Structure 1
């Protein structure tokens, strides 16, 4: 029987898909924050043990990114959308592509696990012998996550290509719940160390297994559960090793450029980790960088990724039909729609950076400042990062992974040069310097990428995008001033102030500041008659009217 062809997504379809993605991502990210908060209260944010675990638990992501990572995202969706036009609806192609991906992931996982000591020693250059030994123990438990991260991505991207968006964003909830449970059990059995003073030598094999094993179990369940959603939409996976004859050559060509791009970014990430571990035990290091990046990614994941992922399938369909006008419209709409909220989100979180840092451990004010400053340094580049995300996926929809390689190379050269320079800074400023370097290079990369896309499409509705961005930035000036006034009044910039005196006061402060800033921002945009805001509010007005 011939499977029905995928229809072109409607504007309402994109809106519904974005809402599903955003809701799942929001719940997952909130649980992710809870996990980091629990981690900080049990193991600390600044110390040898938390840094050892953070480096080890990031290794699977590092290796996975090098081997597959974004290659799957960049290649799977466009290729599956095109394969859906085949007589079997792309079933044969999906089976072959998934078999190939999982085979590569299995070999990579085995090799990486066997090489755990070598990989960990290479990443953790600044670790002491005892800290390195503990990190290697964590790595043996964590590195099997590589295969299951890949399985999650493969199964999820196929579901996205078939317009089943919900499972991919909701199943990480399982991962976070399992990880939080493991941390709480660890604290119950072995005690808590909020200041991060526990020596690495005090860790027993059982402590290592519980902490790292629970993290891996969450990733395993996150991936396996997606298979049941495959069956619900009528997909049946059967291994197929006959890779010839279904157009995998085109996918391989795309993947080669994306692989190169990811290799570049991973090299930059490794250099960042190597330099920031020089500050481990003395100042903000790997764990603080990881926490700050998590905060940075929260609005990006909820807003940009949710909108752009829904648009990505639609853009791939338009690109497959050579409909450049609609593709250009999609890119413009995605950029203007996401930056409307991203400008506000980045401003609110920057103003709330110190209270935000207080939530992660209730440490001394010096630690709060260290974490908060890194958060601010990252967030200065959030708007550019989100624009880059949409531009990059527009190139992917066009089947062009070559151009993203070159503008990524440009950014990586800047990052590596700047990060190596940060090694000369005092330990307490290394993490801040690295975050600021990433921000500046990311802004320049976004400008270059947008210019290249404009040349490729013969325009990207640039005046309209620029006009919208100017409105957003003008509208956020007064809210930022008001937010800072509230922060200062509540003692958020001084030791012992209410806003940084504990988790509950910090949360209250953030709610007050967020409410004040949001009300002023949206009010000013209404006065400025922002068409994007009216478009954003229209569905809400309709629902309230009903």
Structure 2
């Protein structure tokens, strides 16, 4: 895959992700309006709606992402182009997913208790009722990942990132119905005992229906690239043993991260209550954190991952190193800007997200967003390092640097039990960022040992330039934030949805101009590599 094709694939992936994420924010903002980002209702639904993703990720999600693309690329060398492998893998996975989904749904009370130990009984009971509706999502998450990763391996990148748009539209429709019938509760004052079966069914049922639509639609795209699914229960002889050995380490890694998530949820659940950041506030702040990561990092790294897997399959480590360096520098160029812009926009974003809430609720939520943003750059770099190991067929090493991170995070999270409730969520977000910094440092060292070199001098010099460009961006961003009243209760940026969105747009534009202008003046190669082809086309036009 040429660099030009990598660029086009990344752009197409990013465009789908942008549309999906915009709708995702609309959905999340409507959900915040409906049930708040603090309080028992928001925390109960957040725990229940996260359960299917948590269970799925533990048993299959990351395993499939780690092994599926490299294995399908290798299977493509078979005489049938890998069709037998794909049919057998999909059949096996679907059988496993059905069993897991049934067992998890039956275990809804246990799972709700496990993740809500520090909830009061009424909140835990509400989380259990939500979970019965949400846990069937496990099967459809798995189906979506399987079908989408096969499309990615066949270089059909668009559907995997565009079909979540349908998911968001279905969920938004459900929220419109909910708000129209039962009204809004932006400060999370509705108690757990006020929910009836119809309210639960509309809110949680529409969330699950969206996931189902997102998955099933991908079968249509399979047919467009010439794939036909035929159930095949002959699971021997097509290399599934290799996938299983790779998956065992990834499974262990996911157990570690799930343990860390369990610790996090139960530590922060102790702060649950009106006006206090807890499970729901962390979840919504993470949504903003994941926006630039999904749009930029995942879009670029996904296209590079396929190419790295191809180069690794023929033992060309020089090209793997070149791919890693190019992906890291390209992602870093944009993520550094995204990080500093989102830091400056934390409070206006909180206002846009929960515009009907009190000023104190906005500040609480904004502080959690701010703490998460410290870790955005290292988190994105970690994703690229991890995918490089996966392209090499190495899932063992990521297990060990994940173990390192989990020990750091879990130990720190338990210490936060001793702080005041209003500081727990902020502490968890900041701890997540700092643990990620340590994890990516260790992961980079281990990758360098594996590859011999990772083009460290080239990468470091690029990031020094990015840091130089960030300094004037931060200065003009902070001045603009203050002028727009982004840190005062009666300021323009904090006065409502439209002023907050307009303020974020202004801050983003002035910071981008300062950052990109500085990088252009100091002749940053990565920026010029992006910009010069565009400028040439404009001149020709």
Q: TM-score range by the shorter chain?
A: over 0.9
Aligned 1:266-415 pairs, distance under 5 A: 266-282=258-274, 283-362=276-355, 363-415=357-409
What is the CA distance between 1:357 and its match in structure 2? 0.5
* Whole-Å separation in 2 of the counterparts to 1:402 and 1:129: 41
Aligned 1:96-107 pairs, distance under 5 A: 96-107=88-99
Q: Which residue of 420, 425, 440 maps to 1:426? A: 420
What is the CA distance between 1:541 and its match in structure 2? 2.0
- 1:458 corresponds to 2:456: no
User: How many corresponding residue pairs?
Assistant: 538
Q: Paired residue for 2:251?
A: 259
8 Å Cα contact 1:126-1:279 kept in structure 2: no
* Whole-Å separation in 1 of the counterparts to 2:500 and 2:11: 29
Q: Which residue of 61, 74, 98 maps to 2:53? A: 61
* Whole-Å separation in 2 of the counterparts to 1:437 and 1:188: 39
8 Å Cα contact 1:125-1:278 kept in structure 2: no
Q: Which residue of 505, 511, 516 maps to 2:510? A: 516
* Whole-Å separation in 2 of the counterparts to 1:346 and 1:507: 18
What is the CA distance between 1:535 and its match in structure 2? 0.9
Deviations for 1:385-418, whole angstroms, at most 9, x for unmatched residues? 1111101000000000000000000000001001
Q: Which residue of 120, 124, 127 maps to 2:119? A: 127
* Whole-Å separation in 1 of the counterparts to 2:244 and 2:328: 29
- 1:417 corresponds to 2:401: no
Counterpart of 1:68 in 2: which secondary structure? helix
Deviations for 1:249-307, whole angstroms, at most 9, x for unmatched residues? 10000000000011101110111011111111051011110111000000000000000
Counterpart of 1:423 in 2: which secondary structure? helix
* Whole-Å separation in 2 of the counterparts to 1:366 and 1:194: 13
* Whole-Å separation in 2 of the counterparts to 1:277 and 1:82: 45
Aligned 1:82-121 pairs, distance under 5 A: 82-121=74-113
* Whole-Å separation in 2 of the counterparts to 1:517 and 1:334: 24
Give the TM-score of the pair, scaled to structure 1: 0.98
Q: Which residue of 438, 442, 451 maps to 2:436? A: 442
8 Å Cα contact 2:187-2:361 kept in structure 1: no
8 Å Cα contact 1:141-1:213 kept in structure 2: yes
Question: What is the aligned-residue RMSD (CA, Å)?
Answer: 0.8
**CA 1:539–1:106 in 2, change beyond 3 Å: closer, same or farther?**
farther
* Whole-Å separation in 2 of the counterparts to 1:413 and 1:230: 41
Counterpart of 1:354 in 2: which secondary structure? helix
Structure 1 segments unaligned to the other structure (5+ residues): 1-8
8 Å Cα contact 1:45-1:360 kept in structure 2: no
Counterpart of 2:418 in 1: which secondary structure? coil
What is the CA distance between 1:161 and its match in structure 2? 0.1
Q: Paired residue for 1:497?
A: 491
Structure 2 segments unaligned to the other structure (5+ residues): none
What is the CA distance between 1:11 and its match in structure 2? 0.9
* Whole-Å separation in 1 of the counterparts to 2:115 and 2:532: 49
Deviations for 1:41-81, whole angstroms, at most 9, x for unmatched residues? 12111111011111100000110011011110111000000
Counterpart of 2:385 in 1: which secondary structure? helix
- 1:486 corresponds to 2:463: no
Deviations for 1:191-219, whole angstroms, at most 9, x for unmatched residues? 11122111111111011001000000000
Q: Which residue of 171, 174, 185 maps to 1:193? A: 185
Q: Paired residue for 2:220?
A: 228
* Whole-Å separation in 1 of the counterparts to 2:237 and 2:158: 32
* Whole-Å separation in 2 of the counterparts to 1:369 and 1:86: 57
* Whole-Å separation in 2 of the counterparts to 1:172 and 1:468: 34
What is the CA distance between 1:490 and its match in structure 2? 1.3
Counterpart of 2:238 in 1: which secondary structure? coil
Q: Paired residue for 2:141?
A: 149
Q: Paired residue for 1:139?
A: 131
8 Å Cα contact 1:356-1:372 kept in structure 2: yes
* Whole-Å separation in 2 of the counterparts to 1:12 and 1:88: 29
* Whole-Å separation in 2 of the counterparts to 1:543 and 1:275: 54
Give the TM-score of the pair, scaled to structure 2: 0.98
Q: Paired residue for 1:470?
A: 464
What is the CA distance between 1:540 and its match in structure 2? 2.1
* Whole-Å separation in 1 of the counterparts to 2:186 and 2:288: 20
